[in-house]
Structure 1
Amino acid sequence: MSIGNKFLLTAGAMAAAMALFVTPAQAQQKSVAVTAIVEHPALDSIRDGVKDALKQAGFEAGKNLKWQYQSAQGNTGTAAQIARKFVGDQPDAIVAIATPSAQAVVAATKTMPVVYSGVTDPVAAQLVPSMKPSGTNVTGVSDVLALDKQVDLIQQVVPAAKRVGMVYNPGEANSVVVVKELKELLAKRGMTLVEAAAPRTVDVGSSARSLIGKVDVIYTNTDNNVVSAYEALVKVGNDAKIPLVASDTDSVKRGAIAALGISYYDLGVQTGQIVVRILKGEAPGAIASETTSKLELYVNPGAAAKQGAKLSSALMASAAHVVK
């Protein structure tokens, strides 16, 4: 046998041996496409959590994972275009962040695996028939919050509050559900909800101004239009001395007085773990939709001073994070 042939045999043996050490995640390149309705801290944190969960499981962008991300910049028409493009690309899974993007993707495919995230009520949004395994191509993670605890927080921040204002996009299914439930909860406590519609992000400031003199406090859910333009809401709250209470903890860093909410990064990691299961062969329809029960209280004493609220020592002591 020639030296050349010996070398070829040795090289072949080495390659075969190395193949034994290739992990399942490295054995075949996978593709994940991620879309969000808009970019703001909470949704960006979900995206980052998904990516990190995939990397932790051995799927790393640029190595053995094709990663795509596109934001619809708050436009539902653009969300539909992105959905159609991603379906045409035929990735192994599509991650859709926030209700409008999830609805767009689910409308675009009934076969490709879809994992939603940051959706308050996936059943009302008609993404899945229930929170149980759907039997379809869709599963995901909801960011639903217990609204009774949100009302508790409103009363802790503004004990005398009777009229609660809420700026929201009536075109976002998440927010419509929250408004309906919040009305019922407030009524049981002798309180009322005053609504202000903001169909576009540019409407947030003017909608908030329409509440001046009509409300004792303004509460905001994770409405994407509102969160995207939260600084406009903060300006109204500061100028008119109306306390702001949020459900998105990142909003406290931007000027809300308090929020009892979830870590959206952790929600992204939880979402990414579902994507990993799909990449490893599980059918999305066999995976039940999930929620998270881990809540953290954020408070901002500086914002409270600007908006005319005095935080109790008990509320301050119960906060997991105090924003300076």
Structure 2
Amino acid sequence: MRFRKLITGITIVGLMALGGCSSKKASKSPDVKHVGVLQVVQHPSLDKAYKGFKKGLKESGFVEGKNLKIDYQNAQNNQDNLKSMSEKLVNEKSDLILGIATPAAQSVANATQKIPTVVTAVTDLKAAKLVNSDEKPGRNITGTTDMVSIKRQIKLLLSIVPKAKTIGIMYNAGESNSKIQADLATAALKKAGVKVLIKTANTTNDVQQVTETLASKVDGIFVPTDNTFDSAASVVGKVVKEKKVPLVASSVDQVKTGGLASIGIDYELLGEQTGKMAAKILSGKAKPANMPVEKAHDMKLVVNKSMAKALGIDPKSIKAPK
């Protein structure tokens, strides 16, 4: 009798153990890919990049609720959040991680050198020390760059204000992607014989004062793709409209909210490209180390017609330079 009870007890324990194993397997089925997403801050361009990323995955056969689970994290531009959220996504053993914007991408890179990672809305992956080169990343990271032709942006601005003597540049000096573009813009303006005045803002709280100070001293303003200024685009727009100063930005969304024109990137399409790259990695068709960094397929001239009219400029007179 005691022997039978002992056997029964062992059987029950064994079944419970097997049940526990099966539940663990069910929680992370090999048929469901787990993707972690870290976005540096919430603003239109980056939100669209994430939306496009999911669309690119879906078009490639990875659908949320079916064979895909996404853990989305937004650091709200906080360095401590970036670190803890990156570690969370790594500890959860994601099959792939997406970093949206340079600070998020760098934080993920610091957290893992093994988990396949794609990034988007990053201006220069090599300068950010994410890849060995754009052609041969050589590590666990690849993705898409939002670098635009700064020379064309400056030509666009100077075509709008051909008699400009001084052009202002605004950006957050703490964002390496912004500084790269600001340096290129400065070089292009000096080559054109135009004086450059630079102002920087460390937080969105500084943006209004910086914009007001700069707008009162220049004939036009250039803003690179910059998370701080993108997040405060409406504030910038209000100031430049009042001061009657044309603003050209690298970000299309910055222009739609508070600028005049841009030859820029559609971040949703850029995110979609990134999603399709991620799908190739998840399906085992490619590895980040061998996937060249991709540029935006399409760049277009975007003009804020209401801003143009407020500045007394005919929107049709604004043309994309070659």
TM-score, normalized by length of structure 1?
0.86
Three-state SS of the structure 1 residue aligned to 2:318 is: helix
Q: Which residue of 2 aligns with 1:292?
A: 296
- Summarize deviations over 1:99-127 as a string: whole Å, max 9, x none: 01001110111111110101011111111
Within the candidate set 282, 287, 299, 1:283 is matched to: 287
* Matches of 2:88 and 2:275, distance apart in 1: 21
Q: Which residue of 1 aligns with 2:37?
A: 34
Three-state SS of the structure 2 residue aligned to 1:193 is: strand
Is residue 46 from structure 1 mapped to residue 72 from structure 2 by the alignment? no
Three-state SS of the structure 2 residue aligned to 1:139 is: strand
Seen in structure 2, the aligned counterparts of structure 1 residues 315 and 56 have a Cα distance that, compared at 3 Å, is same
**Letter of the 2:132 counterpart:** P
Q: Which residue of 2 aligns with 1:55?
A: 58
* Matches of 1:193 and 1:77, distance apart in 2: 35
Within the candidate set 297, 302, 307, 2:306 is matched to: 302
Q: Which residue of 2 aligns with 1:110?
A: 113
Q: Which residue of 1 aligns with 2:212?
A: 209
Offset at residue 161 of structure 1 (A): 1.8
Q: Equivalent pairs: percent with the same residue?
A: 38
* Matches of 1:211 and 1:251, distance apart in 2: 17
Seen in structure 2, the aligned counterparts of structure 1 residues 256 and 280 have a Cα distance that, compared at 3 Å, is same
- Summarize deviations over 1:235-289 as a string: whole Å, max 9, x none: 2112222222112112232131111101111101100011001101122111111
Q: Which residue of 2 aligns with 1:12?
A: none
Kindly indicate whether the alpha-carbon contact (under 8 Å) linking 1:118 and 1:142 is maintained by their aligned counterparts in 2: yes
Three-state SS of the structure 2 residue aligned to 1:165 is: strand
Seen in structure 2, the aligned counterparts of structure 1 residues 130 and 237 have a Cα distance that, compared at 3 Å, is same
Q: Which residue of 2 aligns with 1:3?
A: none
**Letter of the 1:300 counterpart:** N
Q: Which residue of 2 aligns with 1:170?
A: 173
Is residue 143 from structure 1 mapped to residue 146 from structure 2 by the alignment? yes
**Letter of the 2:110 counterpart:** A
Q: Which residue of 2 aligns with 1:83?
A: 86
Kindly indicate whether the alpha-carbon contact (under 8 Å) linking 1:120 and 1:144 is maintained by their aligned counterparts in 2: yes
* Matches of 1:212 and 1:132, distance apart in 2: 40
Q: Which residue of 2 aligns with 1:10?
A: none
Within the candidate set 155, 158, 169, 2:158 is matched to: 155
* Matches of 2:53 and 2:142, distance apart in 1: 14
Q: Where does structure 1 lack aligned partners over 5 or more consecutive residues? A: 1-25, 320-324
Runs of 4+ in structure 1 displaced over 6 angstroms? none
Within the candidate set 269, 274, 283, 2:277 is matched to: 274
Kindly indicate whether the alpha-carbon contact (under 8 Å) linking 1:33 and 1:94 is maintained by their aligned counterparts in 2: yes
* Matches of 1:125 and 1:217, distance apart in 2: 29
Three-state SS of the structure 1 residue aligned to 2:294 is: coil
Three-state SS of the structure 1 residue aligned to 2:295 is: coil
Within a 5 Å distance, the mapping from 1:111-126 to structure 2 comes to 111-126=114-129
Three-state SS of the structure 2 residue aligned to 1:160 is: coil
**Letter of the 1:221 counterpart:** P
Q: Which residue of 1 aligns with 2:182?
A: 179
Seen in structure 2, the aligned counterparts of structure 1 residues 309 and 75 have a Cα distance that, compared at 3 Å, is farther
Q: Where does structure 2 lack aligned partners over 5 or more consecutive residues? A: 1-28
Offset at residue 27 of structure 1 (A): 7.3
Three-state SS of the structure 2 residue aligned to 1:103 is: helix
Within the candidate set 264, 267, 270, 2:267 is matched to: 264
- Summarize deviations over 1:35-67 as a string: whole Å, max 9, x none: 111111111111011101111111111111111
* Matches of 2:222 and 2:273, distance apart in 1: 27
Q: Which residue of 1 aligns with 2:4?
A: none
* Matches of 1:280 and 1:221, distance apart in 2: 35
Q: Which residue of 1 aligns with 2:69?
A: 66
Seen in structure 2, the aligned counterparts of structure 1 residues 309 and 119 have a Cα distance that, compared at 3 Å, is farther
* Matches of 2:317 and 2:241, distance apart in 1: 24
Kindly indicate whether the alpha-carbon contact (under 8 Å) linking 1:157 and 1:311 is maintained by their aligned counterparts in 2: no
TM-score, normalized by length of structure 2?
0.86
Size of the aligned set, in residue pairs, is 292
Kindly indicate whether the alpha-carbon contact (under 8 Å) linking 2:308 and 2:315 is maintained by their aligned counterparts in 1: no
Offset at residue 293 of structure 1 (A): 4.5
Kindly indicate whether the alpha-carbon contact (under 8 Å) linking 1:128 and 1:134 is maintained by their aligned counterparts in 2: yes
- Summarize deviations over 1:182-237 as a string: whole Å, max 9, x none: 11111110013211111111111111112133211111111000000111111211
- Summarize deviations over 1:117-142 as a string: whole Å, max 9, x none: 01011111111121022221111100
